[in-house]
Amino acid sequence: MELGVVFPTNEMGTDPIAIRDYAQAAEDLGYTRLVAYDHVLGAHPERPEGGAWLGPYGRHVNPPYTHEHAFHEPFVLFGYLAGVTSSLEFMTGVLVLPQRQTALVAKQCAQIDILAGGGRLILGVGVGWNSVEFEALGESYGTRGRRMEEQIGLLRQLWSEPVITFEGDFDRVTKAGLNPLPEHPIPIWIGAMADVAVDRAGRLADGWHVPRAYRGDPDRIASEAQKFFGAARAAGRDPSTLGLSSNLHVVGLDPDEQLELAERAEAAGVTHLHISTMEQGYTPEQHISAVRDFAEQYGVGA
């Protein structure tokens, strides 16, 4: 099982040096992957339609996230961090794909792959839950599941062929293509909770990213993973070729509890475990200290 870190986007601030130091510390400690969340907009708590920005995050923090909580744009973040690290992988965990233009996402991913080198990008995608963003970005919230299925196929075609023609329900490309194409395959993982979405991951994705709401619970992961693997087998795919990732929230747990959960996650089939130190209002230095403590306890990079 490989170990990564969850970039504490809400608590890192805007100092580029602190952000650089965090990524470099993670790489130096032996973590192999940095995962970043994605939101373009947050809603004001007093907005007339829908109230506060409630979603998966709001169930675990008090008060819920609002427009006052910072989210660094993941593709720009990865472009910056790729230049100050050498081998650290970058994963969106997850990018809200249906609210974005498919061809532009394909272009951005291809550029990160080329400039970062070494096949360092994993595109984790999901359908999202924040209708505010879809409205502002001019996309339909109600069709986001069907659109994402179509987008995954289009992304792979754009990354692999110099010129394509594509006619879908949501996107159209006529004799056009990316240049330059990515130099490495870009894996697409799906983050999902609903049964229909887990089924989608099994049919289409290179891996399933366990939702944040699972809180790294190994028993729940093991149970739900069977749905993912079952969907893969039903689609004629070999589950052993697919990845399974989860976040482990270590803050508030003693070292023995942290190690036990990590070991149980591996036993549950998790191939990539991402250490999260969020939700305690840490400074950037404290986040680095927390991931260092876990690395020393678990023997990351040993």
What percentage of the chain reaches a pLDDT higher than 70?
Answer: 92
Angle CA 160–100–65, to nearest 5: 135
pLDDT surpassing 80 at residue 136: yes
Q: Which two tokens stand for residue 204?
A: 């289409």
Confidence of residue 290 (pLDDT cuts 50, 70, 90): very high
Confidence of residue 44 (pLDDT cuts 50, 70, 90): confident
Choose between 57 and 2: higher pLDDT: 2
Q: How many helices (H) and strands (E) does the chain have?
A: 9, 11
pLDDT value of position 212: 64
Using CA of residue 233, residue 237, residue 238, residue 241, what is the dihedral sign?
A: negative
How do strand 243-249 and strand 89-92 relate by DSSP bridges? unpaired
* Residue range 221-233: mean pLDDT, rounded: 93
Residues 255-285: pLDDT tens digits? Answer: 999 999 999 999 999 999 999 999 888 999 9
pLDDT at position 299 is 87
What domains are defined for the chain?
A: 2-298 (3.20.20.30)
- The pLDDT, as a whole number, for residue 59 is 42
| DSSP codes joined into one string, 150-204 | HHHHHHHHHHH-SSEEEE-SS-EEEEE--SSPPSS---EEEE--SHHHHHHHHHH
Phi and psi torsions of 41, nearest 5°:
-135, 150
49-58, 210-219, 290-299, range with the lowest pLDDT: 49-58
Mean pLDDT of 99-107: 99
| Bridging pattern class, strands 2-6 and 33-36 | parallel
The answer for residues whose C-beta is within 8 angstroms of residue 225's C-beta and 6 or more apart is: 208, 210, 244, 268, 269
CB contact set of 161 (below 8 Å; sequence gap of 6+):
177
Radius of gyration for the chain, computed over Cα atoms and rounded to the nearest angstrom: 19
Given a cut of 90, whether residue 74 has pLDDT beyond it is yes
Which of 49, 14, 36 is closest to 276 using CA atoms? 36
